[in-house]
Structure 1
């Protein structure tokens, strides 16, 4: 099962991707007065990793609950990943390094099969590359207690179920109200940049499963 998905994704990721159209479907919209983030510096580069693995006849990938902190993404659900460091040769190396640091999973170069469209995360002034890897067995997860409050798994078939997609009102930065589409995964609200990345992934997965 996972080998079939791997073969499909390797070929599909080399073609034109849904990109911005898929991202827009999960973009949170302000309620009331609109605002625009402005930065003096160009966006920083970062990468995240979708780690696909088989377990008991199903295919999963890990998500993380960030601990609460004062930063933009405190307390949110995310994929393992982070900022590109000077020591990283490219953004794939960034995704591999951050995945090991945050959830203890070592990804080899040959397990990386491609990447989705880059996402401009205006809230934190990042351009993020979502990298995809495929493992042949369930990995052992070891969370970084400083960066990760919890690791939980998302099932691919559940992700593409239309009932997983919902919407709610959120308040961020204490005063900003948003109408936010989200994925309901393991009773956790997956919204924002992570949901936008997964939205493109869903559009591609639908081509395989339907």
Structure 2
């Protein structure tokens, strides 16, 4: 069965690897869905491009399925079409953590419940890493707050992979830490609280924290050297 994005549907986001579409209807779902389509890279040999694209599609779908099956709040996987390199998944009704923080930045985040937000994020990351799923692109744009329930949804597993190495999990956390520091000033307390919940929820977190210090040190050295 082949299922391509219908013609005329507008692209709502395009990155270096894929285009994202908001489908108003999908099969029997009146709310529609999100379709993520990986496009061809003309600078690569067609056979290599197809191989790499298929690998990324499969890995993203597996990560989504693995996290959802374990009880994490991630987009529900509806359908994967390998012929068009497209993943059809749940449309999340809500707002990104990035936008929520930007909306309240001028008031020093007075309208943001840091305690709940840090708990949801920290425990979600702990669950993900306990499954040995490395997100690969943890930013506040890839964390969403649902409108209907109190939860943080981790989205966009396009760079995800499986690893049990504490180093890889530490890099995941470091990327998120840098995202907070560069985009959301004065959120150091929020990120420390996220790490605290992560520590409490993940039994192997101490090894990750030790590696995080090493990753931070390397990051500071790179910054000093330019």
Place the TM-score, normalised by the shorter chain, in its bin.
Answer: under 0.3
Structure holding more helix per residue: 2
Structure holding more strand per residue: 1
What is the TM-score with the length of structure 1 in the denominator?
0.26
What is the TM-score with the length of structure 2 in the denominator?
0.24
Query: Whose Rg is larger?
Result: 2
